[in-house]
Structure 1
Amino acid sequence: MSTAATPLSPAAEATLAAWHAMIRSRDTSGLPALLAPDAVFRSPVAHKPYAGAPAVALILQTAEQVFSNFAYHRTLVSEDGHSVVLEFSADVGDKSLKGIDMIRFGADGKIVEFEVMVRPASGVQALGEAMGARLTGRV
């Protein structure tokens, strides 16, 4: 990854811009259109990845509801222009956390992989509990 002026592919740039607009507006209803059909989500609290656009959309839409005071701080772009790392901070209940979203885009700009890493452990635990309460039996 590089913080230099490595550009995203134009298709990935358009998808990322749409993602940021959704996060700013807190309206993720357009998210399914940004996902490849076989998209994969890797969670900081689950042992196995979630596969398929419907599952990924549900998880990301639920996370948007769980987080408060969510903000992105930095964007790092891969040398091939098909991946980004987005540094963020947020609150879950009374716990503050920091994390990164690692997003890989396909040639068409659709999100093919979305992986989240979070710290500290208390934030991960709060996130897992909040997401589990909303998603148990749904994914």
Structure 2
Amino acid sequence: MGTGHIKKSITRWHEMLESRDMSILNELLAEEVVFRSPMAFTPYSGKQVVFFILTNVIQVFENFRYHREFLSEDGNNVVLEFSANVGDKKLKGIDMIQFNDEGKIIDFEVMIRPKSGLEALALEMGQRILAFQANT
């Protein structure tokens, strides 16, 4: 089991968000990472698109902070509860992150409430994702 690698990766994740140094994300994402958006039925696959989504979400969120952290018994999964604003809309959500034994993120799923906060995020991120897809 790579529990030590995973705890180090979770620590690096928090350091990345505190420092706003999104280059750290390159060391955390596995090439085959999958992102499950609260706005899209079909998941996004691959390091390049997931890197783009996560770096842009951090730019869209204001007053972002984590509140609680839950680690699975096997240590390969963490759930992080967060709150943020998008414009004048407040939202709460969870990041459900699965790691491989090397401590790389292989699955990242986000759930957000309420609907008004999710809609504000969807509007902002939808424009960014369309522009990204047009350039790839």
Give, as a single letter, the amino acid of the residue that structure 2 aligns with 1:77: L
| C-alpha distance in 2 between matches for 1:92 and 1:136 | 19
User: 1:51 is matched with which residue?
Assistant: 45
Which of the residues 11, 19, 23 maps onto 2:13?
19
> Identity across aligned pairs (percent)?
53
| C-alpha distance in 1 between matches for 2:122 and 2:23 | 23
| C-alpha distance in 2 between matches for 1:95 and 1:81 | 34
Unaligned residue ranges in structure 2 (runs of 5+): none
| C-alpha distance in 2 between matches for 1:30 and 1:109 | 13
Which of the residues 91, 96, 104 maps onto 1:97?
91
Aligned length: 132
1:68-109: CA deviation from partner (whole Å, max 9, x where unpaired): 000000000111110000000000011000000000000100
User: 1:65 is matched with which residue?
Assistant: 59
| C-alpha distance in 2 between matches for 1:27 and 1:136 | 24
Give, as a single letter, the amino acid of the residue that structure 2 aligns with 1:41: F
Give, as a single letter, the amino acid of the residue that structure 2 aligns with 1:101: D
| C-alpha distance in 2 between matches for 1:81 and 1:27 | 25
Give the conservation status (yes or no) of the 8 Å contact 1:32–1:54. no
Unaligned residue ranges in structure 1 (runs of 5+): 1-7
SS at match of 2:94: strand
| TM-score, normalised with respect to structure 1 | 0.92
| C-alpha distance in 1 between matches for 2:21 and 2:57 | 12
Give, as a single letter, the amino acid of the residue that structure 1 aligns with 2:114: P
Deviating above 4 A after TM superposition, structure 1's stretches of 4 or more consecutive aligned residues are none
The answer on 1:123 being equivalent to 2:120 is: no
Which of the residues 19, 32, 35 maps onto 1:41?
35
User: 2:72 is matched with which residue?
Assistant: 78
Deviation of the 1:27 alpha carbon: 1.9
User: 1:5 is matched with which residue?
Assistant: none
| C-alpha distance in 2 between matches for 1:49 and 1:86 | 20
| C-alpha distance in 2 between matches for 1:19 and 1:61 | 12
